[in-house]
Amino acid sequence: MKGIKKLIALFVIAVTIITTSYFTKEPRAAAADTSNDDWLHCVGNTIYDKNGNEVWLTGANWFGFNCSENVFHGAWYDIKGILTGIADRGIGFLRVPISTELLYSWMSGKPNKVSSVTAANNPPYYVCNPDFYDPSTNGVKNSMEIFDIIMGYCKELGIKVMVDVHSPDANNSGHNYPLWYGLTTNTAGEITTDKWISTLVWLTNKYKNDDTILAIDLKNEPHGQRGYTAAPPANMAKWDNSTDENNWKYAASRCASSILAANPNLLIMIEGVEQYPKTELGYTYQTPEIWGASGPQAPYYGAWWGGNLRGVKDYPIDLGALNSQIVYSPHDYGPSVYNQSWFNKNFTTQTLLDDYWYDSWAYINDQNIAPLFIGEWGGFMDGGNNQKWMTLLRDYIVDNRINHTFWCINPNSGDTGGLLSYDWSTWDEAKYALLKPALWQSGGKFIGLDHQIPLGSNGISLGQYYRN
């Protein structure tokens, strides 16, 4: 992608006092489901629960643990209150971006500190995140402690979670880095492929007896372009059958195998790359770009970062019996992020399928190869082409029952905005109304992924839905 995607504003607010008058709704108390029976698996293009019942993963992204603050953005307000609103509005699956640097600090037993967190120590006068308060230091708990508390909130509210490795380093613009390895970080040293894998295996073991975390997205948006050099660039994520370190298909297979050895019940989300060679014409990643070539003459198919899954056709991930845990996960955006060529017409669902969607990722669902999970989609409600694209993709998601998480909860995503306003309390009702039909629901009730705990105050549990 030629534009800078997701210009996340560095939104650091020092808040010391939030009064009870700001937040008027307390989350309901609920006994946590500790049965550890909510794991999922795949058959063909469909995801099922342990009883063989079809499920639909629908939700949204909330970033911050991937950033320099090492915690959800918005933690200067009431995190449990925000999560309660999320659950009540039917967002049952939360994609949580994180950095390998932060995971390494947890694995090493020296969790990195958080910033921009309000942790009150004198309720009932102040109710903002009292669980984050550390009486031993009269300050804020560390990043791992806060993450664990938040996972506990999600369990109470019937929300399930997917952890997404968004970048090697803790960086508010870390999504711009194309690979899963190769960066030197402030606290974890150089992130290598082995270090990336080991941190995810560690996280898997930590939560293998807690099905709050149902899935891991191995790496956000691997990308990079071939360029005109004779030798392929080393910093380009590619998808082929080699064992080169920058071969995303090979790295993802290694990482998935290691994670599933620790917990064979997790879903593994595998994104695509940016460019894929026109293999039907004999091109490979050894082929340089051709100056001035475009359209049919160009040797590569382009895509959004992480959005190109054409390689699955030629080189599918093959984990044997554990292919039951593999889900392919493209990202897709509209013209407000970057005006791609397929938007340069009066586009329709059919033109989007013909020009981009089908051969880039939709064929995987259509041909029953594996489930799809659109990990990011969203944007501004501009009353124009971007909103038109959002509506068309939303309808395609619903009609084809494609799993997804909307980007994003946060208001401070520079090129999409969020579902929440900057007070982290007021919802963008027009944007939510666009998303709502793509949230799993029946008979006026949202359907959660926990067999026992209903999703928020307006939902039911998976067990209630299937009556088992």
Predicted confidence (pLDDT) at residue 60 exceeds the cutoff of 70: yes
Sorting pLDDT into bands at 50, 70 and 90, what band is 6? very low
pLDDT of residue 396: 98
Catalytic sites, residue numbers: 221, 376
pLDDT of residue 226: 97
More confident: 388 or 12:
388
Structure letter (DSSP) for residue 200 = H
Nearest to 405 by CA among 459, 339, 348, 449: 449
Per the structure block, which two tokens stand in for 71?
Answer: 């915690």
Q: What are φ and ψ of residue 93, in 5° steps?
A: -130, 120
pLDDT of residue 123: 57
What average pLDDT does range 128-145 have in this prediction? 94
Predicted confidence (pLDDT) at residue 13 exceeds the cutoff of 90: no
Predicted confidence (pLDDT) at residue 429 exceeds the cutoff of 60: yes
| H or E element that contains 199 | helix 193-206
Q: What is the pLDDT of residues 98-123, one digit of tens each?
A: 999 999 999 999 999 999 999 876 65
pLDDT of residue 32: 64
CB-based burial label for 52 (10 Å; 0-12, 13-18, 19+):
exposed
Sorting pLDDT into bands at 50, 70 and 90, what band is 468? low
For residues 311, 314, 316, 320, the Cα torsion angle rounded to the nearest 10 degrees is -170
Predicted confidence (pLDDT) at residue 126 exceeds the cutoff of 80: no
DSSP H helical ranges for 281-384: 311-314, 349-352, 363-366
Contact (Cβ atoms closer than 8 angstroms) between residue 301 and residue 274: no
What average pLDDT does range 424-441 have in this prediction? 98
Helix and strand tally (H, E) in the chain?
A: 11, 20
What average pLDDT does range 296-319 have in this prediction? 96
How far apart are the C-alpha atoms of 304 and 314, rounded to whole Å? 19
Q: pLDDT exceeding 90 applies to what percent of the chain?
A: 88
What CATH topology corresponds to 41-466?
TIM Barrel (3.20.20)
pLDDT, the chain, mean: 92
Q: What is the pLDDT of residues 209-228, one digit of tens each?
A: 999 999 999 999 999 999 99
What DSSP assignment string belongs to 390-452?
A: HHHHHHHHHHHT-EEEES-S-S-BTTT--SB-TTSSSB-HHHHHHHGGGS-EETTEEE-S-SS
What average pLDDT does range 356-369 have in this prediction? 98
Domain limits, the chain? 41-466
pLDDT of residue 93: 99
Three-class secondary structure of residue 202 per DSSP: helix
Nearest to 140 by CA among 278, 15, 310: 15
Sorting pLDDT into bands at 50, 70 and 90, what band is 124? low
pLDDT of residue 222: 98
pLDDT of residue 295: 83
What average pLDDT does range 377-393 have in this prediction? 98
Sorting pLDDT into bands at 50, 70 and 90, what band is 297? confident
Q: Is the dihedral of CA 138, 144, 146, 149 positive or negative?
A: negative
pLDDT of residue 292: 87
pLDDT of residue 31: 55
**Cβ-based neighbours of 100, under 8 Å, separated by 6 or more:** 165, 167, 168, 169, 180, 185, 188, 191, 195, 196, 199
pLDDT of residue 234: 95
Three-class secondary structure of residue 376 per DSSP: strand
